[in-house]
Amino acid sequence: MAHVLLDLRMVRGRLHGIARYALELARRMPALAPDLRFTALVAPEGLPAGLGALTPSMPQHRSLAGFLSPFEQPALAADLARVKPDAFHATSFSLPLFWSGRLVATLHDANHLALADQYSPAQALYYRVVVGPRAKRASALITVSDFSRDELAKYLQLSPYRLQVIHNGVDPRFQPATPSEAKAFRERHALPARYVAAVGNAKRFKNLELLKHFAAELPVPVVLLAGKGAVAHELGLHENVLDLEELSEEDMPLFYGAAAALLLPSKYEGFGLPALEAMAAGCPVLVADATALPEVVGAAALRLPPDDAAMWRETTLRVLRDEVLRSELMELGRERAARFTWDDCARRTLAVYRRVLESPSAPAPRDR
């Protein structure tokens, strides 16, 4: 029975998009392919508590060093030599430089290179010294959008045909909240009866500073979920912005479902999962008309220039006041989100595993 090892080392603390991707695959693979053996490589301290339904059922191997730690590469080589998988799925940009076995690598975006001025020189160097060379020798490469495929091909000097696009999905629990569920959520977190949501972090490309140019002029507050408290203060978002502390995974559908709209002004996204999850939860969505976001939302969200604060203000006011528009966006959003499922993502990824496992163990030839 062939053995596939999935990388879950990045699953720690708040679940960012890559961690969610890895967990959604891990919890589905054993049932989809009972003829294969699946195990997971996790952080030295193991998986965090509170993952709920996202907790994978497969056996786990604790890695010798933390994700992206100074000793990661030799430790990862030792981990793979110890576990001896027939194929290793690197579910993020951490690729094993010193291991020559069958490697399936998912590269979600190229922002460390495309936005090098917003990262440390060491992070860009990691992409050039580790990610680029190892990606060229991978057995198979996956990415999450056509936009990311083109960006990765450009910055890593790969043929775009080496990258297979497999979109992320939306968990079925992202559904519209009932009025009583939404009310209970707002009361539990001391939120007002009406608010618009925003998500992201303090990184410049997330463009949350745009909010300070119009949030004070909205009739409802902006509730910002940005991974930690005090982000609003850090970005100078003082008026009419509530900085929400961490939410549990169970609360995320309610956070979107109880909101009057989601504002996602990010200037660079390899995919844009919050937009899909909000649409699935029945929340009208406004996104920046940039990078992968138009590809993901299609015509089911309102797409705005990322730097035009006046247009973001006017469009947000229109969504708040126009119930017909809100209803139309809610219906279109749910229809759009239904096209993206984690089951489909897992099945298509499984097909990649099978193709790699049936191939010779030698790595793919280097791109010319």
pLDDT digits (tens, 9 = 90+) for 12-60: 877 788 999 999 999 999 999 999 999 999 999 999 988 888 899 999 9
Q: Could you tell me which residues come within 8 angstroms of residue 88 by beta carbon, excluding any fewer than 6 positions away? A: 4, 5, 7, 80, 96, 99, 101, 102, 103, 104
Query: Which two three-digit tokens encode residue 356?
Result: 């790699």
Domain boundaries for CATH 3.40.50.2000 within the chain: 3-169+342-357, 179-337
Percent of the chain whose pLDDT exceeds 70: 96
Residue labelled with tokens 């949501």? 197
Are 243 and 225 in contact by the 8 Å Cβ rule? The answer is no
CATH 3.30.1300.30 fits 179-337, yes or no: no
Binned at pLDDT 50, 70 and 90, residue 330 comes out as very high
- Cα 20 from Cα 199, distance rounded (Å): 16
Which residues partner with 103 through β-bridges? 88
Second CATH level (architecture) for the domain 3-169+342-357: 3-Layer(aba) Sandwich (3.40)
**pLDDT given at position 229:** 59
Cβ pair 366, 139 in contact under 8 A = no
Residue 258 bridge partners (DSSP): none
Give 137-151 pLDDT, tens digit per residue: 999 999 999 999 999
